[in-house]
Structures are given as structure tokens and as C-alpha cells.
A and B are shown apart, each in its own frame.
Chain A
Amino acid sequence: MTGKFRINGREYSIEFDPRDTLLTVLRENGFTEVKEGCSEGTCGACAVLLDGKVVNSCMVFAATAIGKEIITSKGLGDQNNPHPIQEAFAEVGAVQCGFCTPGFVISTFYLLQRNPDPTEDEIKKALDGNLCRCTGYVKIIEGVKLAAERMKNEKV
């Protein structure tokens, strides 16, 4: 089947198998920043924003995302103009192997949109769908705090 998707602000017309997940469609069309870590909704490496809400793209049929707005980590920033969350993660050492990081960035973005000044407990709960095996999460939490701080100041 064919569907129109709005990915990172641009419209794409994509042909795909009706059983494909959004994850498969995104990766096969070059959005490799969306990572496949488990394909069962438990690792969060494939997290994207679907109409503004964080979802595991492996748990979404592409057919149900037609016509919707999809934002991946690359939609938030690039290497030369990173989003404050991406910058903060890199700065504090929240990125080790980095395979889980785009997913964490998306979950963090979703959190900070809704709650610009989260407590540590709120941060941890907001990241309850993301696994990381390298960092022990310490620096990731720190990265979220730093990003929140900077994003608040930017707005002022």
C-alpha cells in the first residue's frame, strides 16, 4: 500500500507492506536514526513522536501513521545544529555507545514539552520505556536536567 507521511517536516509518499511497522518504514526510507533494539516495545531505541506523542515505532503499524506528523531525533537537530537536549546529552557523558540515545532524546523532548521543570523522579518515570546498558542512566538524568535548564533559559 501507499501512504503519505509527514516526517521531520517534509512530506513523503511511501510504498510499504500493510503489515509493516512504522519502524520498518522509517528505517527502510533512510531514517536510520530510529534504531531497532528489540521490536517488541521494551527498549525504546525506536522512539519517535507521532502527532507530538512519544511512541515505540516498532509497536505502531505504519498504516495507522498515514497522514500524521512524525518526528525523529534528526528532526530535532543535526550534527552542526544540535537540539539543546542532544547537546546536553553529549556534554555530560550521557552518550556512550549511543545506540539508545536518539530514543532517549525523543522521550526527553516529550517530557520537557509537557513539563519544562521536571523533578528527578519525574525524569526517571518519563524515561521508563527506554533501556540503556552502558551508562547506568546517571549521566542521562543529568543530561535531561541540563537540557531543561537551558531550554528554560532560552525561552526567557
Chain B
Amino acid sequence: MKKFKNVGKPVKKFDGVSLAVGAAKFTDDFELKDALHLSILYSPYAHAEIEDIDVSEALAVDGVVDVLTYQNVPQKLFTTAGQGYPEPSPYDSRILDRKVRFVGDRVAVVVAESKRIAEEAKKKIKVKYRVLEPIFDPERAMDDDAPMIPDPEAHMIIPAKYDPKRNLAAELDISYGDLEAGFEEADFIEEHTYRTHYGAHAMLEPHAAAAYIDEMGRLVVISTTQVPFHTRRILSMVLDIPLRKIRVIKPHLGGGFGGKQEIILEPLVALVTWRHQRPSKIVLSREEVFVSTRVRRSARLRLKTGVKKDGTITALEMDVLLNGGAYGTHGLTVLSNVGSKSLPMLNKVPAMRFFARSVYTNLPVAGAYRGYGATQAYFAINQQIDMIARKLGIDVLDYWKRIHIREGETSKIFELIGEGREGTPQLITSEHLDEAIDLGAKEIGWYDKRGKRIEVEKDKVRGVGMAVAMQGSGIPLIDMAAARMKMNDDGSFNLYVGATDIGTGSDTILAQIAAEVLQIPAEMIIVHSSDTDFTPFDTGAYASSTTYVSGGAVKKTAEKIKEQVLKVASEILDAPVDSLFLEDGKVIHRDTGRSVTFSEIALRSLYMENQFQIEATESYVGEISPPPFIAQFAEVEVDRRTGFVRVIKFVSAVDCGQPINPRLVEGQVEGAVMNGITWALTERYIFNQQGRMVNNNFGEYKIFTPPDMPEIVTIIVDSYEETGPFGAKSVAEVGINGPAPAIANAIYDAVGVRLFDLPFTPEKVYNALKATKN
């Protein structure tokens, strides 16, 4: 392991105390004097056209200032996906539309002096709908007689297969090798269909947005966004406000997980504030977050593998159908990631086909969600491999070690599938999955428990299962991040990054990277992030990009600063730059030991001689996207008579390169694990026959509280990624891919039933148990 001063240390998250006290401000915490409050009227129908809308009574209510409908807002088509330009998502959304496409689609927005008035006035809006036939079953979405869901003018602005008339949001058909020959050659075919379900991000802070006009007449938007720069660009485009007149600020953000990589509320407050020249604000209720924001798309995955008796997989075919709901946001890219983040794991398979479609339905809108398609794919792959290993009669750990991609290897998939375009060929530059598997197996007690069906209490049987996964580190040759740094009198620095800390601690780890370059304590770096006026560009917090891409930008910037610091030091010490080195906030002359402090360097450069501001700005674009790897293990206890499943212990061993901050790395994995466990067991979108989500609150959409927790262990595997900042790769998403399949495999290990459909409700387990008995 390399020796570092800052990197690899559990530096306390800079805003930790402020957040624990409650001083840190979130979007809803800003006091906006005389703000207008918005309240949204949602469609009660899954598919309908507004025939008539009468807002006169609502407008007449004392304190109501405006009512927005499709009739009085700009009708430009755009995508709500907070992605880079040109967005690989269809332009199929309007701020408010004449047609509504799911229960929870927006019909009107009441603007009033108080929230209570807006909510009361909303009840007075009279809408006449022409109800259209809804489509809830994605398998039916492309039928010849299925009604068209998207806007007739919906289109992609990049070349991609998109057929709105047939409700097709995206399609990929990619293959290499001779598939037919592969299956022919196989001794047996393993073919199964897996189903994953909708999921809510359930970040604790509901979506919110506020806007005001500053003293120069510019529009300032404060919002719960993971993508401030994309938000600014899209706002300008949709509302026809010059981009230079818009400033977007992301204050403290209460969790995103992809759910806030989406431009949902910002156009409303921006429009109202620009139109009325008054501050405005909207904070969604929890119910609104569940129903009207974004979800993880559901998937049907058919996986066919040809296998030889010696374990060689001769061919693999993955056929995927994603349900993206009412709008196509992130459809193509999630679809791509189903394949691109999972199939390379099996790079030795000589022939593969990936055929995948994402369709429109009249259900809530799917967007980005931690894992971004990989989660769905690994649910299928890890169960399939478990079944194959069992058929072959070998331990699945040994089997994975034989088949997974390795350091120095590549996969054809990398070049075949990119993000809305062709991919980028890449070699795996660091991979320690075998160690991860071994360490995880040891921690869970694999060899003492696997296949033992230990009955700790009458009818309560334990089993263990595992899963492996990889992800990426940013989108190669697309994601760009920039950083700016300047030196202050006392030798401290301001670090300005567009990178968006959404609770991950990225401000802190970016400071650690800068501090490592400059050999100063991390607290000498003051971080300012995510303000489109003051920080340089960054694509935002998504695609597991911050540590690798934004971290790369910070490292380059700090290196530029270092050059300048050395130059001034060499003037002071009268010694050549190459005879100097940095240590503990000083520049030291190697031969004489004479030194000069950072503060002395700053004072000289600012006030005394050859004056200039020590500062630098640098940008970084990843050429590759080195994947983190993870091996995850679940021990479960199944109640054989009731089907209740309890996770007893969950172990993750992760290769994320050199951890910049091990505590924050563990935190990322632990959070993802818990999210993955509840998605597998208790989370559930329940719809009625009209397509309305009926369990739209935390009382009924169940995520765990502390007493539900299993024992959770996270192991960071020793690894170093040469292309990453101080050896780092990403870690934020990969941990959510394993829990569902590891639990499924553990349930099988305990009681011999195979669950292909998420979530594993006790009744499903019970029915499967009953079926095996009969």
C-alpha cells in the first residue's frame, strides 16, 4: 500500500458538524421574503386529454396570483433528464401538457401568497378529461392496437433507435461471435426469465426548488439538484431566458441516488419568478415525491446461457424489456448500462447477444437510480451463475473466479455499448475480485454455512448466497469536470468545484486529493461547490463520476498550484525548483533543510515581489471508466412455515482502488447495501387498477429503521487504479447491485426455492415453498 498524508485517512466530513447541529441549509431552509408558493394539481387518470380546464374560480380566490396550465406556459419539448448536451434522452416532455400520461402527471400549478391558499384554490380548478386507454403492462406497450403514449412530436436529438408511435423509447441489438454455434456446442442450456420491480429513491429530503431575482435582475434558482449546470442549460432552453441571466445553486442536498438528476420543479419556479418578478418556492410532500418524481424502472430479463460440462459458457443471450413509465428520460442510457455494466464481467464468453428495449407505459416515470440498469442485470446474472455452478457441482466462488474478467483483459462489450452511442474500448487496469471473494467468504463463514441448512430455531433455516458486480467510474470521453483553486494569505486555499456533493462527502474527498498534492492538512482547503456563477463546470453527481473524474480535475489543478508554489519558494530560497520538496505546509530545500512556509509564499506572491495570485483551473475528461468490483454475501434465515425472510448478516468486499476516505467509502457501501436489501424484501410500488400508486407514504412503502438491520460488514480490498487520482476508482453505485441476487441465492441455499421475481415478499417465498412440497 502506498503511503499518503491525506488520502486513505478517515478525514471528518467537512460539513458533518454543521449538518448534525442543523445549521447547514437545504433548499427549503432559505428564507425568501414575500415568496409565492406553488401547489401542483395532478392527473387522476393514467392516460387522458384535457378537453377543458377552467381555472377562473381558483384565480378568484383571495391571494391567488396565477394559475399555470398548458395554455399559458411555453410549449417547447425537452427532456427532464439532467444529462450532458446533446442529451441521449428523448425530447418528449413539456412543462405542462394538454395530455396527461400517468396518475401524478401535472395538470396545473396554482401560484399564491401562501401554501395553504394555493392548496385550497387548487380544489376549485375544474378539468374535463377525455379518458384514453392506459397501458400498464410493458409487454403490451408495442402491440399494434396499443394507444400511442408519447407526444406525437417527441424526438431524439442524437441518432438512436426511437419509435414513439410504437411506444418504443429505446432499443439496442448488439452481438458478437457466433451465437448459434455457441448454443450448439453447449452441453446444457440454462434459460430463465427474471423480473425486477419499481423502486423509490426515498431520499429523506423531498424535491424542492426556489427562485428569486437578484439585485442585478438575474434569475437565481436554488434547488435539490444533482446537476446544477445541466439545470441551467435546460432552463434557458425551455424558458427562453438567456443562459447568462440564470444562476443555479445547489445548497445542501438531502440525498439523491439519481432521483434528483432530473429537471422537474426548477422550470416551474423559474417561470413564476421570471414572470412575476417575485421569489417563488415549492417543496413536494412525501406523497408527491413517490407519485410524481422518478423511480427505478422495472425490468423483465430473459437470460439464456449455453454451458459445457467443464463449465465453459459458450454463448449468452440477454433479452431485456424495461418499463420506463410515461416519459423516456434516461431510457436509452439505462438500457445501455444494463448490458455495458454487466456483460463485460463474463468477458470470456465467445458469443453474446444483447437485445434490449425500453418502452413507454402509463405508470410513474422512471429516471436515474443508483445502479442505473446494472442492478437489474446483476439480479439475473448472479442467480443464473449460481444455478449453473450448482448444476456443475462446483462451488460458485470457484466458478466466479474462473469466469470473471481480470486485470489486463478487455470485453468486446466496452466498445460496442456506450452511453447513447458506441462505447470506448478499454482494458481493465485494476481488478481484485478474487481477493474480494475470498475476504467476503471468510467474513460470512461461507464454508461452514453453505449448503448446511442450519436450523437455529424450529422451522427457521439459514443459508448463504453471494453475488459479484462491477460498475464504472464516470462516462468516458463524455463526463467533464473542472476545478479552480486559489491561495490565501495564510497558506489556505479556496477550492471551487462544479462537482455536486449530494451527501456523499465529495467536498471532503476532493479537498483530501488537493491536500495530498500540496502536502497540507485537508482543513487548509475551503471547498465551494455547485454554484453555476462561481464554480467551474462539472457534469454533476451521477454515473459514479465524482471521485474519478472530478477528483482527476482537482488533482490536475492542485498540481498546477504546486508548480506555482514551488516557483515562488525557489525565489525565496534562491534554489532551483528541482531541489525543493513539499512537506507539512512548507517547501523544503533538500540539501540544506532550509524551508519556507505556505503562508510566507502566499504573502510574498500577494504583497511583495513578482506579485500574482497563485491560482489555477484545470479540467478532466476520463478516457476510460475503470470499474470498481464487489463481492457481496448474504446470510438469511427463512421461516419455512410462513415464508418470512430475515437477513442475518450482509458482507461486502469492494475493490474501489485506493479509498480516498475509507469511512466515506464504507458509508457509501453500507447505504447502498441497505437500499438493496429493502428493495429486495419490503419496498414495493403497489398500483390499483387505474394505475394509481396506493402506498405513497413511508407508512406503507417500507424501508428499514435501525431495529430491522442485519449485521453489515464492509471490507475494502487493497487495490490501486493507476489512472485514477491517487489510485481511486468509484464506489457510490456498485454496492446496490449485489443484495437482491445474494439474498435470492441465500434463500435457495436455505430452503431450496428459486425466486425469479422481486420483491421477495413472504407470501412469494411461502408459495414457492408450497410448490416444492407438492
A interface residues (Cβ-Cβ under 8 A, vs B): 17, 27, 30, 32-40, 42-43, 45, 72-74, 76-79, 82, 85-87, 89-102, 105, 123-125, 127-141
Contact = CB atoms under 8 A, between A and B. Distances in A.
Contacts of B504: 96
B502 interface: yes
Contacts of B706: 123-125, 127-128, 130, 137, 140-141
Contacts of B201: 133
B283 interface: yes
B431 interface: no
A156 to B, nearest CB: 24
Nearest to A126: B706
B20 A95 contact: yes
B28 A137 contact: no
Interface residues of B, number: 58
Contacts of B253: 97
A132 to B, nearest CB: 7
Count chain A CB atoms within 10 A of each CB in B17, B206, B664, B706 and give the residue with the most: B706
B108 to A, nearest CB: 23
A135 B254 CA distance: 12
B13 A100 contact: no
26 contacts: A33-B22, A34-B22, A35-B26, A36-B283, A39-B286, A40-B698, A43-B204, A74-B22, A90-B16, A91-B12, A93-B663, A93-B666, A95-B16, A95-B20, A96-B667, A98-B24, A98-B503, A99-B203, A124-B707, A124-B709, A131-B202, A131-B698, A132-B204, A136-B670, A137-B709, A140-B706
B26 A99 contact: yes
A130 B18 CA distance: 19
Interface of B: 10, 12-13, 15-26, 28-29, 31, 116, 201-206, 252-255, 257, 283, 285-286, 502-505, 663-664, 666-667, 670-675, 697-699, 703-707, 709, 712, 714
A102 B22 contact: yes
A78 B24 CA distance: 11
A57 to B, nearest CB: 13
A97 B204 contact: yes
Contacts of B675: 133, 136
Contacts of B283: 36
Contacts of A27: 28
A86 to B, nearest CB: 4
B712 A136 contact: yes
Contacts of A74: 21-23
**Chain A interface mostly helix, strand, loop or mixed?**
loop
Contacts of A100: 204, 254
B204 A99 contact: yes
Contact of B20 (A36, A38, A105, A131): A105
Nearest to B257: A133
A99 B16 contact: no
Contacts of B31: 30
Contacts of A133: 201-204, 255, 257, 671, 674-675, 703
A77 B22 CA distance: 9
A23 B201 CA distance: 24
B28 A32 contact: yes
A96 B14 CA distance: 11
Contacts of A89: 16, 20
A135 B698 contact: no
Contacts of A101: 19-20, 22
A79 B21 CA distance: 7
A135 B257 CA distance: 12
Nearest to A107: B706
Contacts of A128: 705-707
A134 B255 contact: yes
Contacts of B257: 133
Given A38-B286, A91-B12, A79 B17 contact: yes
Nearest to A106: B22
B259 to A, nearest CB: 10
